[in-house]
Amino acid sequence: MYNVRVICEDTWWLGASDRRIQLFENTYPVPNGMSYNNYLIMDEKTCLLDGVDEAVSRQFEENLAHVLDGRPLDYLVIDHMEPDHCAVIPDLVRRWPNLKLVGTPKAFDLVRQFHGFDPTPHAIKVKEGDTLSLGRHTLQFVLAPMVHWPEVMVSFDQLTGTLFSADAFGAFGATGGAIFADEVDWERDWADEARRYYTNIVGKYGLQVTSLLKKASKLDIKEIAPLHAHIWRRDFDQILSRYQKWAAYEPEDKSVAIFYGSIYGGTANAADILSTKLAEAGVHDVRVYDVSKTPVSEMVSQSFRSPVLVFASATYNMGIFDGMRELLEDLNAHAMKNRTVGVIYNGSWAPQAGSLMLDAIQRMKGMEVLDPEVHVTSAVDEGALEQIDALAAAIVAKLAE
């Protein structure tokens, strides 16, 4: 049975959620599932904006058939050619042989690569600022390369002021019937998953996101309709201000994130002692993460949020503890920069983790490493405790600047 909503004049949401999925992109844990949005404009011409993932294709087909109500589909706008949004393209072309596909030249290269057919007979290639008239509605296309794939564009409906924003402004998680951000407690229930989505999916491309935000600021936007999670029709600053910070790698608050990799408890003890000393000194938002048990995507997300990051690792096989090495590699891959860093390292006979962590940290831009670097020899002793005291004082002083 169909399940659709009208989001603005002549425009329908046809989305669906997959609550069985465990890993988005076979990488990121999504315990609350994943939503896939797409939209249909019913004008003199009918226009579908993006498709859906194969997992929800049956629901999509019922939704599309209901709203079209026997009319043909005239246009499919491909804002983003990633398979979780375009798995249904071959089926749509087979069903409507005269269907026109609208996208960037790179989008059609990806159609060939993923679906194995030549889209040329169907293709309308667009560039920055091009428009498509559907009757009363006119779509204006704004290119957004590497947000977060090279073919990406966003589409702006000049009549309704709706920005169809591709993967920008989305979040992890399945939605229920409440598809608008103002229908949920977004700050309480969705802000963290929006951050985790941005930082892990789009986070590396801050310059490109900043460019898109500048272009979007020139449009008279009344509504933001992303391909995942909620549609925004008011309080845009709630999400836009965050994107501006995330794209610039600016921390959101005065929190401290402590990440530790511990084998027999000595390094974990050092991390806990540091967190206690920070709390006693008045730092009331300290997050402590065991890298062996916490998804890397959650720790990357927290690293975008916090101005101070502490990395505490045991030495393992003459290297960095596995989970810590993975975290540092991921932060490098996401171009993390401009953070204050504390280092705690542990080694019973050859404490290599410290120098190797510093090498990884120094590959990131603008990372200020605080003194002292805390050296634990197997377990925290009085000497290490003094170093932890000094590191806590340095962190407190930095947060007070």
How much is the mean pLDDT over the chain? Answer: 98
Q: How many residues does the chain have?
A: 401
Name all domains of the chain by residue range, CATH numbers in brackets.
Answer: 5-247 (3.60.15.10), 256-399 (3.40.50.360)
User: Facing residues of 140 across strands?
Assistant: 131, 156
Q: Say how far apart CA 120 and CA 108 lie, in whole Å.
A: 8
Instruction: Please give the distance of CA 299 from its chain centroid, rounded to a whole number.
Output: 13
Asked if 56 and 83 count as a contact pair (C-beta separation under 8 A), the reply is no
> How many Å apart are CA 351 and CA 346, to the nearest integer?
6
pLDDT of residue 212: 95
DSSP state letters, 181-207? GGGTTHHHHTHHHHHHHIIIIIGGGHH
Burial of 217 (0-12, 13-18, 19+ CB in 10 A): exposed
Residue among 401, 341, 397 nearest 369 (CA):
341
Q: Which two tokens stand for residue 75?
A: 């246009």
Cα–Cα distance measured from residue 372 to residue 343, given in angstroms and rounded to the nearest whole number? 8
Contact between 299 and 291 (Cβ < 8 Å): yes
Query: Cα dist. 215→144, 158, 208, 227, 338 in Å?
Result: 9, 15, 11, 19, 25
In DSSP notation, 5-62 reads EEEETTEEE--EEESS-SEETTTEE-TT-EEE--EEEESSSEEEE----GGGHHHHHH
CB 346 within 8 A of CB 266: yes
Structure confidence at residue 143 (pLDDT): 98
- Distance in angstroms (rounded) separating the CA atoms of residues 124 and 259: 49
Please state the separation of Cα 141 from the chain's center in Å: 22
Nearest partner of 318 among 354, 346, 344, 351, judged by Cα: 351
Q: Work out the percent of the chain whose per-residue pLDDT is above 90.
A: 100
The neighbour count for residue 149, using CB atoms within 10 Å, is: 17
**Residue 348: predicted pLDDT:** 93
Contact 127, 143 (CB under 8 A): yes
The radius of gyration of the chain's CA atoms, rounded to the nearest angstrom, is 24
Residue 35 has φ and ψ, to the nearest 5°, of: -105, 150
What is the mean pLDDT, run by run of 10 residues, along the chain of 401 residues?
98 98 98 99 99 98 99 99 97 98 98 97 98 99 97 99 98 97 98 98 94 95 98 96 96 98 98 99 98 98 98 96 98 98 96 96 98 97 98 98 90
Task: Fill in the amino acid letter for 316.
Answer: Y
List residues bridging with 120 in a β-sheet.
none
Tokens 């949005």 identify what position? 37
Extract the tokens encoding 184. 């949920």
For residues 398 and 395, what is the distance between their CA atoms, to the nearest angstrom? 5
Q: What is the pLDDT, as a whole number, of residue 61?
A: 98
- Residue 184 near residue 162 (C-beta atoms within 8 A): no
